[in-house]
Structure 1
Amino acid sequence: MKEKILSFLLATLLSACLAGYLFYHVGLISWMGQASLFQWTILIGITSCAGLLISQGYSFIIKILPWDKGHATRSFALLVVLAGVLTSYAILLDSIVTDWLVGFDEISDTLSGSLAVKGALVSLILSLLIIWIDYSWFAFARYSKETIHRLRDARNKKELQFNLLRSQLTPHFLFNSLNTASHLVSIHPDQAEEFIRKLAFNFTNLLRNGIQPLNTLGRELEIIDNYMHLMKVRYGEKVILEKRIKVGAESNFLPALGIQLLVENALKHNVASLEYPVKIIITADQGQVAVTNSLTHPPEIVESTGTGQRNLRERYLHYGRLAPSVSQTGGFYEVRLPYVTKPEMT
């Protein structure tokens, strides 16, 4: 209700300003001081009627013709309403005032329809100005909405990175690594020292890449090499890693730590033994990366919530890419990771 009243007052003020400008331009300001109460009542009445028509017409148009559904249609409709009402108001003023000025020969001779002509021209200019202001307000509101959307998008990206970091820094992995290090200290001190250095490097990379959305394939393979050194100390020949990387593929981008996640899952969901080792093959060309692992048999107890792979799928959707594809044939489990192109990582 308040908006309707405000709209009416603004439209009436616009009509009054148009009348004041026209009266001033044709030299009727001095005559207005001599106008009777009846004449002032008529002027205020028709000015209020013009304001009411403008406010009601404007409200109807913005309700049925939003800017995002047709700029030209809405602009034309607003122009018809605003210019039409204001021009009609100017013509009515010209007719009424001309009748009132009978006997004022000097003023009536100079008037002779000028209110209508000048009123039509000024009405057109005012209408175009109002339409421009209305569209500028819409454009500003749309820009603000898009800015808020980008900020939310950036916040979601940070949340995805945090979830990635949380899914990777698991107490289970740290506990097993420390147990392995403790065992090596008493049996192979030299290997223990190297294992601890590699473990520290692995966690340093993990923390650093927790705030980086993407890595090159080359960087991901470097992280895998350090991670597999830890796993080799733990599993020995029970785990086999094979890399088939085509020349030039290492410069492509992937979600950070995506390959390590799949390698961890391969070791988590399969029992590795000398008789049935877990073989992991990383294949990469210019189109995608495939991480394949052999299937032995699952462990009796597997602590898995699926957070890691779900987070990986969400990150691909965040960058507007297809989700990783999964297949299982011939005793092998394979996950294919498409690359994320460099322009999409911003």
Structure 2
Amino acid sequence: MRFIDLFSGIGGFRQGFEKVGFKCVFSCEINSKCREVYTDNFGEVPFADVSNINPTDLADFDVLVAGFPCQPFSICGKKLGFEDTRGTLFFEICKIIKVKQPQVVVLENVKHLIHHDKGNTLKVIIASLKDLGYSVNYQILNAKDFGIAQHRERIFIIATKGKEFNFSRLKTKFPPKLREFLDETGDFEILDKSEYTLIEYPRKQDSGLLFVGYRNKGTWKTGVRPNTEHLSRVHRQPNRIYSVDGVHPTIPSQETSGRFFIYFRDRDLVRKLTLKECYRLMGFPEDFKSYPSAGESYKQIGNSVCVPVVEAIAKEILSQSLLYDEIKETQRHQESRLLEEVGILVKTIT
């Protein structure tokens, strides 16, 4: 079971697929800092520029995975399909698919891809994959449904040869609490009580977020101000404070300082997440090696894919028998067992 890892970042897809038993035979990432982290953790340097890949030089593989950048397509006067993607990074993915024809393609992107360019971007992606001979299905998945205390919605597009990937078979879990992912001790950045205001009636949102207050901006007042729920609307998301008894908001890619603050009611303190806790909230292992710069590491984490989500997808690719080689191996195994049973039966009769 072999796969290639395009736009690999720091290796979130690879972490998930290797946990299930897949073997990575090629990786590609243009960001030099991400390549450095990838090399430190997986022992190989990813190919740099996807546009310089010659598909015929690639080893055979069963699955292509890619967390690709979102770009608009020019479709004026054209029929939706593979050629409409020319000049984009997605076109580079399609070139590889056209030549290598993997059994499964797994693509990940931000959930707003559905609305990008008034929905045209998603239409072209789906049409292109169908044009290349695939059945296509997609769904928005949330990390909090896969054992991670983070509200992180991403669209996953899965293209297969033959039957469609069945998203309903993915095994989900009840969202855990953020406090289960946090360290008890450490060098924490704690806010002074003069720097934030707690609302009187915290409310848990459908997303699992439990908003409890905000960082003061311009006015420095302490304590709890009654009936201030409306103030959350005039403060930017980075200034919001969330309880450890809910889930964490999406770890962002634009921020270089781990911007979100969390509230411990039992300790009556507000602090930032540590870098280690951010990795944990993406499902990376405890021994994962990060980039020397903390600011760069926060960006890399925010750009990554949540490991348990792609691990669940990898498991279902096998469970749903979407790999031709796996199907053949299962058939060979069943035939071998049948021959053994027939042989035993013949010996018994004679």
Q: What TM-score results when the alignment is normalised by the length of structure 2?
A: 0.20
Under a length normalisation based on structure 1, what TM-score does the superposition of the two structures give? 0.20
The structure in which a higher percent of residues are strand is 2
Larger radius of gyration: 1
